[in-house]
Structure 1
Amino acid sequence: MKGYVFHGPGEASWEDVPDPGIKEPTDAIVKVSAVTICGTDLHILKGDVPEVRPGTVLGHEAVGEIVETGSDVRTVRPGDRVLLSCVTSCGRCRYCREGVYGQCLGGGGWILGHTIDGTQAEYVRVPYADLSVHPLPGTLASEDAVLLADIFPTSYEVGVLNGRVRPGDTVVIVGAGPIGLAAIATARLFSPERIIAVDLAPARLEAARRFGADAVADVHEAPHQLVADLTDGLGADVAIEAVGVPDTFELCTRVVRPGGHVANVGVHGKPATLHLEDLWIRDVTITTGLVDTYSTPTLLKMAAAGRLPTGQLVTHTFPLEQMERAYDVFSRAAETGALKVVLGGEQHELAVPTA
């Protein structure tokens, strides 16, 4: 089969790799029908995630069909159409028993495309299949469902829920890429007074408006002053960092009010300065986190009912074999207008960006 293989920082290719097989009785083999590329994959290619070894097939988000299961798998069977979670759960360790699947001690957590071969391939082995795949309703298109593998649960759990967004809040979301846009969509579920999106790309700021941002700000045009003006100098109740660079994290700590929450979602490859000389007195709560995906069943129900704007995030689709082209388009988002690219699924033509 073919897979997209990481060979070291800046090097990866779509090439022949061995077919996966059942290794444990809890495994399933899935034929991939739709897969997407995550910003975390770009971080891996930059060398920001050194745990990923050369020779690893990348990817941790997919929709596909079960083709084989181990003897202990009970909840799915060959022929089932499923969503693959970006986080794998053994279901038995202390963290999994508490629903903190991202910290699984039993061989799970974020492993696909990280410590084992991932989903950007024609077939993928999924450990602990009973808890790590979700059967899909026939009404939910693959292009919509695949966005529930990572970005919507991540934005919702690590951004909105960790940030404790409440009715009437002012929420600032720094970064209007796919994670930031999904954070806007899911923050709106809690009826904040206003959502302010910050980015440096005009096309992404326009996308933020379409997703429900009440105000937008260019990162180079004093967004902290806009936040101060809109909150009578108080600051944001919640600031969500959705980029993963030092400047955006530090901006979040500047725009949040005393007693507010900073929820870091971005994947950081460099140290960020924590200005405790300013923050120690302000009662600010800062959270970090890897998604646990405990919200995925709820989000699937919402998506099937048309309550989440998943499809609006997909700007480009490709056949699976055009993985290298898809990476090129996604990595040049400022030029191409790419938000989320999907390979496979029901469509196979390059879509025209909506912004």
Structure 2
Amino acid sequence: MKGYVFHGPGRASWEDVPDPAVKEPTDAIVRVDAVTICGTDLHILKGDVPEVRPGTVLGHEAVGEIVETGADVRTVRPGDRVLISCITACGRCAYCREAMYGQCRGGGGWILGHLIDGTQSEYVRVSHADLSVHPLPAALGDRDAVLLADIFPTAYEVGVLNGRVRPGDTVAVVGAGPIGLAAIATARLLSPERILAVDPAASRRDAARRLGADAVADSAEAPEQLIADLTDGLGADVVVEAVGLPETFELCTRMVRPGGHVANVGVHGRPATLHLEDLWIKNLTITTGLVDTHSTPTLLRMAAAGRLPTPQLVTHTFPLDHMEQAYDVFVRSADTGALKVVLARQQHEEVPAQREGAS
């Protein structure tokens, strides 16, 4: 079979790899029908995640069909259509018992495309399948469902819930990429008074407005002043960092009000300065987090009912074996306008990649 293999910083290719096989009785083998690319994959390619060894198949988000299961798998069987979660959960360790699956100590956590071969391939082995794949409702198409593997639970849990968004809050989201846009969409579920999106790209600011932001700002034009103007000088109740750069994290700490929350979602490859000389007196709560995906079943039900704006986030589609072209489009998002790209097995090779909504 084929897979997208990491060969070190700046180097990866779509190439022949061994077919996956059941190694443990809790494993499942899934045929990948739809897969997407995450900003974290770009961090890996930049060398920001040194735990990823050369030779690893990338990817941690996919939808597919179960083709084989180990003897101990009970909740799915061959032929079932499933969502592959970005987080693997053993279900037995102390963290899993508290639904903190991202911190699993039983061979789970974020392992797909990180510590073991991932989903950007034709088939993938998923360990601890009973808790790590989710049967999909028939009403939810592959292209929508794949967004529930990572970006929606990450934005909702690590951004909105950790940030403790409440009705009437002013929420600022710094970074209007896929995670930031999903944070805007899920923050709206909790009825904040207003949401501000900050991003240097005009196309992403436009997308933020479509997803529910009440105001947008260019990150180069003092967005902290806009927040101050909107809140009588107090600052935002909740600021979500959805980029992963030192300057965006520090911007978040300047935008939050005393007693507010900064929820860091971004993957950081460089140190950020925590200005305690200014912040110690502000009664701030700063949270970090790897998604646990405990909200995935709820979000799947909401998506199936049309309560999440998943179609608006997919801007480009490709055949599965056009992985290198899809990465090129995703990397150059400032030029291509890419938000989420989806690669699907069902497409024929002769169908060109296309921008959704383009003529």
* Category of TM-score, reference length = shorter chain: over 0.9
Check if 1:146 corresponds to 2:149.
no
Whole-angstrom distance in 1 between the partners of 2:356 and 2:132: 32
Residue in 1 that maps onto 2:170: 170
Q: Residue type of the partner of 1:241?
A: E
Contact 1:171 1:194 in 2 (8 A): yes
Q: Aligned with 1:221: secondary structure?
A: coil
Check if 1:226 corresponds to 2:226.
yes
Q: Residue type of the partner of 1:350?
A: A
Contact 2:88 2:101 in 1 (8 A): yes
Residue in 1 that maps onto 2:250: 250
Render the CA deviation track for 1:15-65: whole Å, top value 9, x for unaligned.
000000000000000000000000000000000000000000000000000
Whole-angstrom distance in 2 between the partners of 1:237 and 1:345: 43
Q: Aligned with 1:33: secondary structure?
A: strand
Residue in 1 that maps onto 2:355: 352
Identity of aligned residues (%): 82
Residue in 2 that maps onto 1:300: 300
Contact 2:198 2:219 in 1 (8 A): yes
Residue in 1 that maps onto 2:215: 215
Residue in 1 that maps onto 2:46: 46
Residue in 2 that maps onto 1:289: 289
Render the CA deviation track for 1:234-282: whole Å, top value 9, x for unaligned.
0000000000000100000000000000000000000000000000000
Render the CA deviation track for 1:288-321: whole Å, top value 9, x for unaligned.
0000000000000000000000111000000000
Contact 2:32 2:345 in 1 (8 A): no
Whole-angstrom distance in 2 between the partners of 1:120 and 1:345: 11
Instruction: Give the alignment of 1:189-204 within 5 angstroms.
Output: 189-204=189-204
Whole-angstrom distance in 2 between the partners of 1:10 and 1:225: 38
Whole-angstrom distance in 2 between the partners of 1:98 and 1:197: 33
Residue in 1 that maps onto 2:20: 20
Q: Which runs of 5+ in 2 are unaligned?
A: none
Residue in 2 that maps onto 1:263: 263
> Could you say what the CA RMSD is over the residues aligned between the two structures, in angstroms?
1.0
Q: Offset at 1:354? A: 5.6
Contact 1:177 1:339 in 2 (8 A): yes
Structure 1 residues 214 and 354: alpha-carbon distance in aligned structure 2, compared to 1, 3 A threshold: farther
Whole-angstrom distance in 2 between the partners of 1:246 and 1:169: 25
Whole-angstrom distance in 1 between the partners of 2:355 and 2:5: 28
Instruction: Give the alignment of 1:315-330 within 5 angstroms.
Output: 315-330=315-330
Q: Offset at 1:349? A: 4.7
Q: Residue type of the partner of 1:351?
A: Q
Q: Aligned with 1:187: secondary structure?
A: helix
Whole-angstrom distance in 1 between the partners of 2:354 and 2:223: 32
Whole-angstrom distance in 1 between the partners of 2:135 and 2:354: 27
Q: Residue type of the partner of 1:236?
A: A
Residue in 2 that maps onto 1:3: 3
Whole-angstrom distance in 1 between the partners of 2:75 and 2:176: 37
Structure 1 residues 151 and 270: alpha-carbon distance in aligned structure 2, compared to 1, 3 A threshold: same
Contact 1:337 1:353 in 2 (8 A): no
Whole-angstrom distance in 1 between the partners of 2:309 and 2:250: 30
Q: Offset at 1:216? A: 0.3
Contact 1:143 1:345 in 2 (8 A): no
Residue in 2 that maps onto 1:137: 137
Check if 1:117 corresponds to 2:117.
yes
Q: Aligned with 1:57: secondary structure?
A: coil
State how many pairs are aligned.
355
Q: Offset at 1:352? A: 2.3
Check if 1:333 corresponds to 2:336.
no
Whole-angstrom distance in 2 between the partners of 1:283 and 1:255: 14
Q: Offset at 1:139? A: 1.1
Check if 1:59 corresponds to 2:59.
yes
Q: Offset at 1:351? A: 3.0
Contact 2:317 2:356 in 1 (8 A): no
Q: Which runs of 5+ in 1 are unaligned?
A: none
Q: Offset at 1:232? A: 0.2
Using structure 1 for the length normalisation, give the TM-score: 0.99
Whole-angstrom distance in 2 between the partners of 1:297 and 1:137: 11
Whole-angstrom distance in 2 between the partners of 1:220 and 1:122: 42
Whole-angstrom distance in 2 between the partners of 1:25 and 1:350: 39
Contact 1:142 1:345 in 2 (8 A): no
